[in-house]
Structures are given as structure tokens and as C-alpha cells.
Amino acid sequence: MSDVTPADLHRILDRQRAAFLRAGPPDLKQRRADLRRLKAEILKRRTEIVRALKTDFGQRSERESAIVELIPLVQSIKYMIAHLGHWMKPERRHVSAYFQCGRAWVVRQPVGVVGIIAPWNYPVSLALVPLATAIAAGNRAMLKPSEFTPATSAVIGEIVRASFPPEQVSVVTGDGEVGAAFSALPFDHILFTGSTAVGKKVAEAAARNLTPATLELGGKSPVVIEPGFSMQRVSDRMAFGKLTNAGQTCIAPDYVLLHENDKDTFATSYQEAGQKQHPGGYAASPDYTAILNAHHYARLTGLIDNAAAQGAQVIRLGSNSDESHVLAPVLLLDVTPQMAVMQEEIFGPVLPVLTYRTLDEAIAFINARPRPLALYYFGDNRVDRDRLLKRTVSGNVTVNGTLLHYVQDDLPFGGVGNSGIGGYHGKEGFIALTHARGVYRQGRFNAATLLQPPFGKITDVITNFILR
């Protein structure tokens, strides 16, 4: 699959838009057929997908690829197929007192051509779930996978070409220059998943065309642990959330806030949980994923070195492999907000631990920073949990667990401010990629006659009643 030029991008968009205007929106039967065909092609190439992911990452757990890439993707498509008929039904709306003889309703109509820019960390699910959502909403789509996962992008291209004609869905590849040209196209909607820094550039480019944008970004997602809560229970679930994909997850727990009396207990318990998950170590483990490339590996080791130089206690849970970019989990104690590891999203298996004395301190710490994409709370105290949720603003929340809010198809997914704009998944994705068109049908009675004789007095009575 060869890279495209900016001129190619415009030709593809023009072709898709012309086809959309010519054919009109697909009906329910067609959309379901399209989604079933996409699902079938994904399942048909399951082995190719897993192999491509391993090629791009160097070391990628096959079991993890199935659990975090394929299962959420297939389940999401099944959910859309099952509920699409309900989402597409016109919604009756209230008619005001003057116009009771008429009828009003809202229909969700596709917007046209949707541009999708996918990231490298989950290059299959974060490309094809948005694509399936665009198809469910009745749109056509252009998909730009990440240039950092070329083998996976090639398989995605094969899946799309086998599922759709190019005037319905096209996959385009290229470097950052192509990505910039892609985001500058006058799409009817653009959906971007990636870093906050790049998301700002996408939003700026989209604004020039007044293109609505859904931005799925990231940020530093905190974990707040209730004093005295079971550290074994916390650590097992924290290790799952932090070590899945070696922490290269936008909603991975980024840092921990726990009571100062629980720091040592947590440190011991977390080390045990990590070793239990990978008893043979990390460098040779078939169930542990490598850091994508040398650049990100160096960035993460730099964060660790910076923290150590400023007084953090560095606890390594295993040995690294510089050659294959395998970074064993690292726990950082005695962390301060000034350290580089607390200034940027980590996106790796490095876990800083900070302490608090009161829950108000933890809430203030979170609120002093950009709003996170995810928030995690461990504890059984409902009063404290509800106080934390009421006084903070974030994307989704998982209580007594990590990551699992993402795979709930009936929950919207999205951030706030620096962690994202808008949301998708399930019904919210369908809503995001459609336009709510209001329709009013006037009845046989013409309300305008109330303004004419002999209805003047009646009109006055009605007016006074409404304006009382």
C-alpha cells in the first residue's frame, strides 16, 4: 500500500462526497450488512492482525492483542448491529400550545464524509471502532492509520478494501506531512485519537473549514486509593491497568494518590502483583509488550533518570532489554510535582506514587492540573467516593478497577478539555457522527388565522395564558 499525496487526498474526498450526494443515506438493512461484512473480514484476518502487531512492536503479547484489540472491536460492532434500528428511529418532540395541530420530530441524518486519524498504540481497534461507528451512522469515511505501525496499517487496508468500495471507505497512508494535509481536508466531521499536542493542531486545521471535530486525547489519569483499603486488591488491578500494552494506553493509570501511611504497603504489594503476572521476567515474556520504538524507550528511561536525579526512590520490577525496547515496570516513590514524570503523560510502565493526608488534598491536587481522560477510585467509602466524583471533572471513571469503563458499549467514551472534545462509542458515537434534523409538519389548521379577525379575543386569551 503506497503513500498518497495531498492531491490524492482531495480526489478521494471529492469522489466520496459525490457518491454520498448521489446515493443518499443508506437504510438500516444496508448499514447492518456493511457492519457484518467488516466484522467478517476482521475475524477472517485474525491471525494476520496479531502477526502484524507483533511485527510493529517487536514484542507484543498475542493473548493481549486478542483481549485488548479484537474483542472490544468485535463486541462494539455487534452492539451497533443490535441497537442501530432503535437509534435510527425518528424521535417525537413536543409541539408548543399554539401549534398543537402540527407534529414535530427529530431524525438523525449522516453528515457525509468522516475523516478518521488513528494512533499507533492500539492501531486496530482505535482505527476500526471509529470506522464502524461512521458506517453505522450512514457516512462514508477516509481512514488514516499511524505511520508508526506499517504492518498493521497494511492489514487494515486489506480489510477495508475487501469490505467496501473506495467511494465508501478508503485507507490512506503517509507520514506527518500527509497527516497534516489529511486534517486540513474539508471533511463533514473529523475524529482524531492521539496526543494532546497533535490534537490541538488537528483542531486548528479543522476550524479553518468549520469541520466539527471529535478529539480523543490523553493526559495524566490519577488513581485515588482510600486509606486502609486492601492493597492486594488494588495492586492486582493496578498492575493489569498499568502493564497492559506496557502502559502504552491513553487511559492507563498515570499516577497514584494514596494516604501517607499506606505507601510502603502499596509498594510491596504492587511489586508482588507485577511479579505474579510475569513470573519469568519481562524481557523474555511472551505476554509482555515492548515499547514501540527507540524514541519512546529513550523518553521513558529519561523520565526515570530525571526522577532519580531529583530524589525519587526507583524500584525496578525486572530487567530491561535495550535492544528490543522492553522496559520492565518501574515504581517511583517520593515523587514531587516538579519532576518531569509528573509534567507529561507517561505512556509506559512507570508508576509514580504521591501521598496525601486528607481527601481534600487529593482533590485539590487533581483539580490543579488539566482534566484527565480517566479517573480511578479504590475504596468502599461511598461518601468519599461520591465527594471525589462530584468535585472533580474527568472523562470516564472506573471504581475499584482500571480500564474497564472503556469496554462498556453503552457508555460514552471521551475526555474534557486537554483530554478531549466530544465522545463516541455506542449510541453517543452514532449521535456524534450524525446531524439532528428537526422536522415540523403543520396540520390542517393554520395557526396564522388566530392573528386575524374574528379570532382576536381568543388570541388575546391564549397569549395571556402563555405569558402569565
Mind telling me the catalytic residues? 216, 250
Q: Which residue has the cell 388566530?
A: 450
3-state SS, residue 377:
strand
Look at strands 350-356 and 255-259 and give their pairing. parallel
* CA–CA dist 151, 211 (Å, integer): 31
Helix H, strand E, coil C: the string for 4-67 is CCHHHHHHHHHHHHHHHHHHCCCCHHHHHHHHHHHHHHHHHCHHHHHHHHHHHHCCCCHHHHHH
Helix (H) or strand (E) holding 457: helix 456-466
Q: Return the bridge partners of 440, or none.
A: 104
DSSP string, 64-88: HHIIIIIHHHHHHHHHHHHHHHHHH
Angle between helices 382-391 and 359-367 (to 10 degrees): 20
b/e map of 123-139 (b: 16 or more CB within 10 Å)? bbbbbbbbbbbbbbbbb
**How far is 133 from 371, CA to CA, in rounded Å?**
26
Other CB atoms within 10 A of residue 241 CB? 22
3-state SS track over 262-319: HHHHHHHHHHHHHHHHCCCCCCCCCCCCCCCCHHHHHHHHHHHHHHHHCCCEEEECCC
Burial 388-426 (b: 16+ CB within 10 A, else e): beeebebbbbbbbbbbebbeebeebbbbbebbbbbbbbb
